[in-house]
Amino acid sequence: MEILKAIAVPRPNGSTEFYRVVDYIKNWLISRKLPLESHHFHMRPYFFEIIALAIILATLFFCYLAFFRKSWLASMPVLLLGLVMLFESSLGIPVISSLIQKDGENIVVSFSPETAERELIFSAHYDSKTQPLDHRQRELIFKMIIPSVAAGILLAILWWAIHLRGSGPPKSMAILLRGMLTLLSAYWLFLAFVFGGGFLLRPSPGAVDNGTAVAALMHFSQELKELPLEKTAVTIVLFAAEELNMQGSQAYVRDRIRKEEPKCYNINLELVCQAGDYVYWPEDGVFTKRYATSAVLNNLLDQAVVKITGQKLKPLEGDFTTISDGGSFLAAGIPSTTLSNAGSPEMGFSFFHSHRDNMDRVVPEKLDELVQILKEFTLLFEKTTDLVN
């Protein structure tokens, strides 16, 4: 709780408070003589704001071209916007967000016995974000991105075809086309607000998303060297820029898989130590591709949760499209799963990225409980010989 109180403050990537939290975490680890390393990468802190601006400009340009009968060009800004969203959000390839970059730092603590045959990576992110909609609320909005781009292109082509006939469309058709254009434009402008409107709101302290996970892993790092491990190297990674489309974990995995490392496995922590049962994510990935999480890791986590709490580990229910740092590992072919708490009946997985993700949401006794689960899981992992899914 002492750690959590120090870091559970609004800490968006690249802000003054963000770098203060980085220094706090590093100084805390150094003061306990833990083996600390830093993994630096080029962070794009205004990822969402730049995309929001691109959406607004593309929408205005689309409307101008369509209304002023330059409809043969109107599909171009929509197509370009669709490509930007594909490259930036799904493929992780910076097209425009790299215009402004800052130093990003993943904090790494490693314990490796000389006889280690494999590596177990525990991960969590230490940054926070404020946005108008949280994970569940924005699902439908995001699912409409691809259909809306396709509809915009088709609308521009249809309008162009009508004008090629040499006369304008019938009045009823013109009203329909303008209505469709207005609806699409309204959706895109709202999408821009969803991406970049967080600065208008009370900021999120990020207590459960994801301060509790960071606090638990920092405390767990003190106890790791006491565990009797011979076959398993254990690494704790605290990621920056998860709230910027997993930039930190993508950079870490990209740099790590270039090297010849022992076979590695990942347990990612998200939204832990709130009310509710322990749950695992059946899937993770990116917006356009999902991967099944590791059945072996889920089974070992279930055994650890049962041993410590007496309760079964459950799959996260519902059509849940949130992605996490675990998806970066899965996309690289590294077995991974994400552990969470389901939340209270009133809040569940909602009201994150807002001022309601504060210390009142934390269940303090679950911090120590989570550390015990991680210790038990690590010992089970050490004893397991067959780790093939």
Where is pLDDT greater, at 152 or 202? 202
Domain membership flag for residue 369: yes
Domain membership flag for residue 213: yes
Q: Among 156, 171, 199, identify where a domain stops.
A: 199
Residue 277, token pair as written in the block? 């049962």
Instruction: State yes or no: pLDDT of 389 exceeds 60.
Output: no
Domain membership flag for residue 98: no
Is residue 71 very low, low, confident or very high in pLDDT (cuts 50, 70, 90)? low
Instruction: Indicate whether 188 and 304 sit together in one domain.
Output: no
Is residue 23 very low, low, confident or very high in pLDDT (cuts 50, 70, 90)? very high
Instruction: State yes or no: pLDDT of 62 exceeds 90.
Output: no
Specify whether the backbone of 384 is left (phi greater than 0), alpha (psi in -120 to 50) or beta: beta
Instruction: Indicate whether 234 and 186 sit together in one domain.
Output: no
CA–CA distance, 73 with 154 (Å, rounded to integer): 12
Specify whether the backbone of 241 is left (phi greater than 0), alpha (psi in -120 to 50) or beta: left
What is the model's pLDDT at position 365?
Answer: 96
Is residue 72 very low, low, confident or very high in pLDDT (cuts 50, 70, 90)? low
Note the pLDDT tens digit of each residue in 290-323: 899 999 999 999 999 999 999 999 999 875 567 8
Q: Is the pTM of this model over 0.75?
A: yes
Residue 144: Cβ within 10 Å count: 15
Please give the average per-residue pLDDT across 266-284, as a whole number: 96
What is the model's pLDDT at position 91?
Answer: 75
Instruction: Indicate whether 176 and 291 sit together in one domain.
Output: no
Instruction: State yes or no: pLDDT of 362 exceeds 70.
Output: yes
- In angstroms, what CA-CA distances link 38 with 108, 202, 247, 283? 6, 31, 15, 29
Instruction: Indicate whether 117 and 225 sit together in one domain.
Output: yes
Q: What percent of the chain has pLDDT over 90?
A: 61
Is residue 184 very low, low, confident or very high in pLDDT (cuts 50, 70, 90)? confident
Number of domains observed in the structure of the chain: 2
What is the model's pLDDT at position 165?
Answer: 67
Burial class, 312, CB count within 10 angstroms (exposed 0-12 / middle 13-18 / buried 19+)? exposed
Strand partners, 338: 268
| Structural domain containing residue 66 | 50-93+139-199
Please give the average per-residue pLDDT across 121-142, as a whole number: 87
Instruction: Indicate whether 246 and 278 sit together in one domain.
Output: yes
Instruction: Indicate whether 56 and 177 sit together in one domain.
Output: yes
Please give the average per-residue pLDDT across 328-337, as a whole number: 93
Note the pLDDT tens digit of each residue in 257-270: 765 556 899 999 99
Please give the average per-residue pLDDT across 346-357, as a whole number: 89
Please give the average per-residue pLDDT across 2-11, as a whole number: 96
Instruction: Indicate whether 222 and 161 sit together in one domain.
Output: no
pLDDT, the chain, mean? 89
**What does the DSSP assignment read for 184-231?**
HHHHHHHHHHHHHGGGGSPPP--IIIIIHHHHHHHHHHHHHTTS--SS
Instruction: State yes or no: pLDDT of 153 exceeds 90.
Output: no
CB 110 within 8 A of CB 233: yes
Instruction: Indicate whether 192 and 287 sit together in one domain.
Output: no
Domain membership flag for residue 99: no
Instruction: Indicate whether 178 and 251 sit together in one domain.
Output: no
Please give the average per-residue pLDDT across 328-332, as a whole number: 92
**CATH number of residue 229's parent domain:** 3.40.630.10
Instruction: State yes or no: pLDDT of 168 exceeds 80.
Output: no
What is the model's pLDDT at position 144?
Answer: 84
Residue whose entry in the numeric block shows the structure tokens 């009142």: 360
